[in-house]
Amino acid sequence: MDNETINLTISCSPHVHSPDNTRSIMLDVVIALIPAMLGSMYFFGLRALLVMAVSVAACVAFEYLYRRILKKDATIGDCSAVVTGILLALVCPATIPYWAIIIGDFFAIIVVKQLFGGIGCNFLNPALAGRAFLFSYPVLMTTWPKIGTALHLIGSNADAVTAATPMAALHQGTLPADRLIDCLVGSVGGSMGETSAILLLAGFAYLLVRKIISARIPVSYVATVAVIAFLFPQGNDRLVWTGYQVLSGGLMLGAIFMATDYATSPVTKAGQIIYGIGCGLITMGIRYFGSYAEGVSYAILIMNVSVYLLDKIGTPKRFGYVKPKKEAEIK
Amino acid sequence: MAGFFGGVHPNDRKALTSEKAIEPLPAPRQVVIPMSMHIGAPCAPLVKKGDSVTVGQKIGETTGLGVPVHASVSGTVVAVEPRPHPNGTNVMSVVIENDFQDTRCPDAVPPADPEALSGEELTRLIHEAGISGMGGATFPTDVKISSGLGKLDTIIVNAAECEPYITSDDRLLRETPERVIEGLKVLLKIFGLEKGYIGIETNKKTAISILKEQCPGEIEVRVLKTRYPQGAEKQLIQTITGRQVPPGGLPAAVGCGVFNAATCAAIYDAVYLGLPLVRRAVTVTGSAIRTPKNYLAPIGTPYTDLIAAADGFASDPYRVLTGGPMMGIAQFDLSVPVIKGTNAITCFSQKDNQEVKNPHCIRCGRCVGVCPMHLMPLYLYQAERKDNIDELNARNIGDCIECGSCAYICPARIPLVQSFKNAKAKVRAAAAKKG
């Protein structure tokens, strides 16, 4: 054995790593979104697939170009831009023009994510910030097509038959015309990926099994919404009102896939629970008192900026730390 | 039973060597015995080139905190000079050409009546036998004993062996459990305690049943969940007693003393056989090794001899580690010798390379969930990158035990332990500057 011919790598321990990496985590999120993506195609047709494809392609292209032009290391391999592309598409109506979703992708990837340093450095959820930016075109963002309408694959869908969303009725303080079971299954008006609670919950189960997220944020978020709805019902039946509040609008998509975004949610257990409760409170505040019918995306964006503070509150107790005894106790 | 927070479950790969009995290594032609194999001041050599030495002869005397060094083979001293050491530096070493006679030093005889020795005499004997912690930290055992006298109520033998790949303690417990048990009894006698514990992880089933069979009533075998870093001193104490060693404190602060299983066996050898610490069990393992095995190797055996005995490399090695993959030290020169804390030589081939080029923290928070010291590694990493000394102190960088759980779990593969070693150096430098 000749010492001269051996090339040994020197680095600090540890020398083994968990098989999970950023890319595998992002791909797990994509897998968890597959039921909702298939649902959006079932409810809104092929156009939903095209919107998602355009959005993903635009996100990846913007990230690639930005990092290429600024001579930074390429990061599209981590697949986080793919997740952003899918999520932004899922929170838009299927009628959204392609040019609009591309503008949203630009805002999400370039302004919100890359200008702050790229993956992990953004302080707002890129997809939700992209959606908020697109509300500069409020009509485009609220043209909810009726389920099963044949949408034009190319060209404007401004003439599409529209449907009222359950949220609009709830905002008026009345129960929606849709049955509760429709809200669960998803055959109601709304953004492409938000309508079916059951498909989103399937994705939630997958994320939990794969240990990609913990249940703390989604559960505390949805539970807060449910408690407030139950305590302050409108209409005759508390339980039915609560059911609609939980199953309608963007709550499931937001609580499971948006509020749990790593970069913009707390890392401490206590912080995550407070964060979920905060999201729930703001969501219900907007739903009850706001001029928008739905409050999920703004609730999450507002809580995004409190993450550092919440992590400070949630900082684990120091190992071996004992409170110094008060003088009285010593005596 | 109380547990500890966090921890990780790396694939332990102990099956590579767990059924391989500790076999004597073919006698090495030469041994290189460093004068520093313990925490503290290096020893001063007592021999010079040309001297002949015998097994167990003292060849290095302490100059401060430390334990003496002994010859591990008989033969002739061919050099006393700085040689590469597994810690990455060159250290004054005595090089002995083996005469293959294995002549025992006439001084290395057991005391006439070991049972009659007082605690003080036993501690002295342990010092003279050159025993320092054999789990890797190599703190002089007699100093650990004397600093704990009168403060301890619990003695724990660390047989957790939570590092993946390593099986040298497991084999020791299976093959000669009486050495560990008797060594623990010596410690109990020194401290005047009734009861001792042996902490061992569930993945060592055979060793557990042997220990349970052989341990007398005053020694309790505590079977611990297999979870890294179960064998870290603070986590072991926390699991067995529920006590948390205070920040910056020693185990004695909560009445505990922890001794490695191999250290206990060395105490037995010294007290009952009169043999100083001149050999130890070493696991030679990893994907790059053709025939992974356990060896009983003289202290000072070059790594090359051990690797050759295990039929050499099966593929080009990518990393060679002193110790296991979680806390082991990567080596660049394979002529370095086995020292008192060398429990394993782990060799990885290129297929084990998991490095990434430009890691980006995604704030997944897994590091927070696994840190057994309740730290928040992602924020420490940020503070280190920004040279924010106040933030590092506020977030208790000094509590980090460098177990590597955070860097293991990190999906971005950020070199967190390296960052925290740097951070500690920066904090020390800043404190020195302040005066």
Asked, for residue A205, whether it belongs to a domain, the answer is yes
The neighbour count for residue B387, using CB atoms within 10 Å, is 12
Calculate how close chain A gets to B121, using CA atoms only, in Å.
35
Q: Nearest-CA residue of chain A relative to B364?
A: A262
What pLDDT, on a 0 to 100 scale, did the predictor assign at position A174? 86
Asked, for residue A328, whether it belongs to a domain, the answer is no
DSSP annotation of B238: H
How far from each other are the two terminal CA atoms of chain B, in whole angstroms? 45
Asked, for residue A229, whether it belongs to a domain, the answer is yes
Which residues of chain A neighbour B351 with C-beta distances below 8 Å? none
Structure confidence by residue, pLDDT tens digits, B111-144: 999 999 999 999 999 999 999 999 878 999 999 9
When pLDDT is cut at 50, 70 and 90, the band that residue A169 belongs to is: confident
ipTM over the 0.90 cut-off: yes
Interfacial A residues in 246-265 facing B (CB < 8 Å): 262-263
Q: Nearest-CA residue of chain B relative to A213?
A: B364
Query: Positive or negative, the Cα torsion across A145, A51, A215, A250?
Result: negative
Query: What is d(CA B67, CA B153) in angstroms, rounded to the nearest whole number?
Result: 26
Asked, for residue A291, whether it belongs to a domain, the answer is yes
Query: What is d(CA A178, CA A175) in angstroms, rounded to the nearest whole number?
Result: 8
CA angle, B260 then B226 then A22, to 5°: 115
Average pLDDT for chain A = 92
Please give the structure tokens belonging to residue A65: 């170009």
Asked, for residue A4, whether it belongs to a domain, the answer is no
Asked, for residue A9, whether it belongs to a domain, the answer is no
What pLDDT, on a 0 to 100 scale, did the predictor assign at position B320? 96
Compute the residue count for chain B.
Answer: 435
What pLDDT, on a 0 to 100 scale, did the predictor assign at position B358? 87
**Measured between CB atoms, which of B326, B362, B372 is closest to A119?**
B362
Residues of A175-212 as b/e, b for ≥16 C-beta within 10 angstroms? bbebebebbbbbbbbbbbbbbbbbbbbebbebbeeeeb
What pLDDT, on a 0 to 100 scale, did the predictor assign at position B122? 97
Burial class (CB in 10 A: 0-12, 13-18, 19+), B434: exposed
> Do B40 and B137 touch, CB atoms closer than 8 A?
no
Query: What is d(CA B59, CA B96) in angstroms, rounded to the nearest whole number?
Result: 11
> Do B22 and B168 touch, CB atoms closer than 8 A?
yes
B interface test, pick of A3, A4, A8, A15 with most B CB neighbours within 10 Å: A15
What pLDDT, on a 0 to 100 scale, did the predictor assign at position A326? 65
B397 contact A CB<8A:
no
When pLDDT is cut at 50, 70 and 90, the band that residue A152 belongs to is: confident
When pLDDT is cut at 50, 70 and 90, the band that residue A322 belongs to is: confident
B252 contact A CB<8A:
no
The answer to which of A13-27, A68-82, A96-110, A157-171 has the lowest mean pLDDT is A157-171
| % of chain B residues with pLDDT over 90 | 95
Containing structural domain, residue A180: 22-313
For residue A328, pLDDT beyond 80:
no
* CA-wise closest residue to B317 among B328, B296, B297, B331: B331
A95 contact B CB<8A:
no
Structure confidence by residue, pLDDT tens digits, A179-206: 999 999 999 989 999 999 999 999 999 9
Q: Nearest-CA residue of chain B relative to A269?
A: B369
When pLDDT is cut at 50, 70 and 90, the band that residue A5 belongs to is: low
Structure confidence by residue, pLDDT tens digits, A46-58: 999 999 999 999 9
Which residues of chain A neighbour B11 with C-beta distances below 8 Å? 16
- For the packed helices B177-191 and B141-148, what is the interaxial angle rounded to 10 degrees? 40
When pLDDT is cut at 50, 70 and 90, the band that residue A162 belongs to is: confident
**Measured between CB atoms, which of B361, B404, B411 is closest to A13?**
B404
Asked, for residue A253, whether it belongs to a domain, the answer is yes
> Do B374 and A89 touch, CB atoms closer than 8 A?
no
Which residues of chain B neighbour A1 with C-beta distances below 8 Å? 304, 307-308, 312-313, 334
For residue A1, pLDDT beyond 80:
no
CB contact under 8 A, B411 and A268: no
Task: Decide: pTM greater than 0.90.
Answer: yes
Structure confidence by residue, pLDDT tens digits, A62-83: 999 999 999 999 999 999 999 9
Query: What is d(CA B273, CA B109) in angstroms, rounded to the nearest whole number?
Result: 7
A228 contact B CB<8A:
no
Residues of B56-79 as b/e, b for ≥16 C-beta within 10 angstroms? bbbbbebeeebbbbbbbbbbebee
How many interchain CB pairs under 8 A, A with B?
161
B429 contact A CB<8A:
no
When pLDDT is cut at 50, 70 and 90, the band that residue A158 belongs to is: confident
B interface test, pick of A3, A16, A322 with most B CB neighbours within 10 Å: A16
For residue A40, pLDDT beyond 70:
yes
CB contact under 8 A, B409 and A18: yes
A174 contact B CB<8A:
no
CB contact under 8 A, B304 and A1: yes
How many domains, in total, are found in chain A? Answer: 1
* CA-wise closest residue to B294 among B239, B261, B342: B342
**Measured between CB atoms, which of A17, A316, A322 is closest to B413?**
A17
Domains in chain B (CATH in brackets) are: 114-273 (3.40.50.11540), 366-434 (no CATH)
Query: What is d(CA B151, CA B251) in angstroms, rounded to the nearest whole number?
Result: 10
> Do B39 and B132 touch, CB atoms closer than 8 A?
yes
When pLDDT is cut at 50, 70 and 90, the band that residue A308 belongs to is: very high
CB contact under 8 A, B348 and A15: yes
Which residues of chain A neighbour B317 with C-beta distances below 8 Å? 6, 8
What pLDDT, on a 0 to 100 scale, did the predictor assign at position A327? 61
Asked, for residue A238, whether it belongs to a domain, the answer is yes
Calculate how close chain A gets to B192, using CA atoms only, in Å.
27
Which residues of chain A neighbour B162 with C-beta distances below 8 Å? none
Please give the structure tokens belonging to residue B336: 């370095």
A325 contact B CB<8A:
no
Which residues of chain A neighbour B313 with C-beta distances below 8 Å? 1
For residue A37, pLDDT beyond 50:
yes
| Segments of chain B with pLDDT less than 70 | 1-2
